[in-house]
Amino acid sequence: MTVTGIIAEFNPFHNGHKYLLEQASGLKIIAMSGNFVQRGEPAIVDKWTRAQMALEAGADLVLELPFLVSVQAADFFAKGAVDILERLGIEHLTFGTEEVLDYESISRVYGQKAEQMEAYLAGLPDSLSYPQKTQAMWQEFAGLNFSGSTPNHILGLAYAKAVAGKDIKLCPIQRQGAGYHSLSANQEFASATALRQKLDQLDFLKKYTPAYHLLETAPKVTWSDLFPYLRYQIVTCPDLTDFYQVNQELAVRIRVALKSSETIEELVEQVATKRYTKARVRRLLTYILVGARQEELPSGVHILGFSEQGRQHLSSLKGKVELVSRIGKEPWDSLTQQADKVYQLGDLALTEQNFGRVPIMKDKQG
């Protein structure tokens, strides 16, 4: 049986994600962001709820991406996730994209010219943001022209880089429905952004996510719930450069901007520049919020849930991969577990996220 990997946030799970799972072949392994996601914000519902959403929609195995993989720019996010999925034996990597290109040949270009491409990237002026630099690199070496704001396409290119030289086939699926952040509801598919903004509209949820029953009842967490804790961190920390990736320039900008910011949106707006994108600023603020400092990635893979087929696949990996199915006295990943404790501050109804939790077994839940 083919083993297919999918890298996802499911924030929250919607009809487009269900379509993606249906297009994937064989055993389906999901490498899913934990309680904080790539754009630098808390997931709207916790990782266990989102894992259950995925299992109910056909996933066979859901594993958790460590915090320092989840909350990263596209290239680092993709590399970290692909490295974990490779250890679990995936043969295909399936992903949604706005632009279905020949990602296999793009990957080969990077595999052949990685050193030159990275040198070119490093030589670009610091006045450009990292996404602008990577776009320039792809245009220079692969002749790719970018059509606009297409974050899934950007991730597709990051996956192409991440699988270069690996025995993993890229399987792009044309993204369905509205644009990535579209709020339109006049089609079969609605974006995760639209769902997050209409959580109080049950009819909308029923129409656009098969997991509406889970989404409706689960505790919700947003940046507004956690912003007071971020303010506290910034005000009380004597040196913000202690935090992961925060330099002196950004530390000063953050402190000054906080004085006149009442929301996370206002703070991000004031700190961001052409060089420092809003997404990067949100990630940095997330690092500050959870107290992230440079740490090693965990050696083990944390399992959130599985089907019977997924359980059998895990059995075949025993002795080859360090699998973590229960977090007890010994931590799996100290930073991720610390971030989860901060996440729990966002809603007092949230249950313990790690200690003693065991994977969701789909088949036992009917």
Residue found by looking up tokens 């974050």 in the block: 151
Distances in Å between the alpha carbon of 101 and those of 76, 144, 156, 158, 170?
Answer: 21, 10, 9, 13, 11
Query: 9: annotated binding-site residue?
Result: yes
The residue type found at 4 is T
**Cα–Cα distance for residue pair 236/202, rounded to 1 Å:** 41
Query: 343: annotated binding-site residue?
Result: no
- C-beta separation of 56 from 31 below 8 A: no
Query: 106: annotated binding-site residue?
Result: no
Query: 247: annotated binding-site residue?
Result: no
Looking at residue 333, the DSSP 8-state letter turns out to be -
Query: 364: annotated binding-site residue?
Result: no
Sign of the four-CA dihedral 41, 42, 47, 51 = negative
Query: 189: annotated binding-site residue?
Result: no
Query: 14: annotated binding-site residue?
Result: yes
Query: 360: annotated binding-site residue?
Result: no
Query: 159: annotated binding-site residue?
Result: no
Query: 35: annotated binding-site residue?
Result: no
Query: 12: annotated binding-site residue?
Result: yes
Query: 40: annotated binding-site residue?
Result: no
The contacts of residue 44 (CB under 8 Å, 6+ apart) are 11, 12, 196, 199, 220, 221, 222
Spell out where 19-174 has E strands. Answer: 27-33, 36-37, 41-42, 61-65, 92-97, 169-174
Query: 328: annotated binding-site residue?
Result: no
Please give the annotated binding residues, written as ranges.
7-20, 96, 152, 175
Please give the annotated binding residues for ATP, written as ranges.
7-20, 96, 152, 175
